[in-house]
Amino acid sequence: MNTIAERYGVDETNGLDLIGHDYHNRVDYTETMTLGQVAAAGGKITRLRVLGVGPDGFYADISYVHATLPDGRIVPLYGDYPMCFPIRTIKRELIKWAKSHGVYAKGLGLLDESNWSVLR
């Protein structure tokens, strides 16, 4: 069976495929948080959506970021994400973003590639 990404002619790593609708229904969209608020609450980044842009997917934008809080709620992060950077520098950009919020990217799970969904 083809994945949704294959049907649309794109390449995706760590996509949600068949569980996407269920996953997004579990996200509490009534509350948004910053990286600093997630860290203060003891939460972890559990989903980072990266979109490769341009004809070769060389540049990237962050589409959304979700965190899971200690009580199990999944919340979206406020959208001041890094945008339009070379995809090869993604970890550097995420570290800069975390520093701008006074938190450690690695400690929050932001650098954990298993949390990333990359669509090219």
Q: Average the pLDDT over 85-112 and give the result.
A: 94
DSSP state of 10: -
Structure confidence at residue 1 (pLDDT): 43
- Please state, in angstroms and rounded to a whole number, the distance separating the CA atoms of residues 15 and 75: 18
Summarize the confidence of residues 98-102 as an average pLDDT.
95
Phi/psi of residue 62, nearest 5 degrees: -90, 125
Q: Is 45 in contact with 65 (CB distance < 8 Å)?
A: yes
Residue 9 reports pLDDT greater than 80: no
Query: Residue 104 is part of which domain span?
Result: 4-119
Q: Which has more pLDDT, 5 or 64?
A: 64
* pLDDT at position 55: 66
Q: Is the pLDDT of residue 62 over 80?
A: yes
Phi, psi of 111, rounded to the nearest 5 degrees: -95, 0
- The pLDDT, as a whole number, for residue 108 is 96
Tell me which H or E stretch contains 86: strand 85-86
Instruction: Please list, in sequence order, all residues whose beta carbon lies within 8 angstroms of the beta carbon of residue 18, skipping any fewer than 6 positions away.
Output: none
Q: Which residues pair with 58 in a beta bridge?
A: none
Domain count, the chain: 1
Per-residue confidence band for 18, with pLDDT thresholds at 50, 70 and 90: very low
Q: How high does pLDDT run on average in the chain?
A: 84
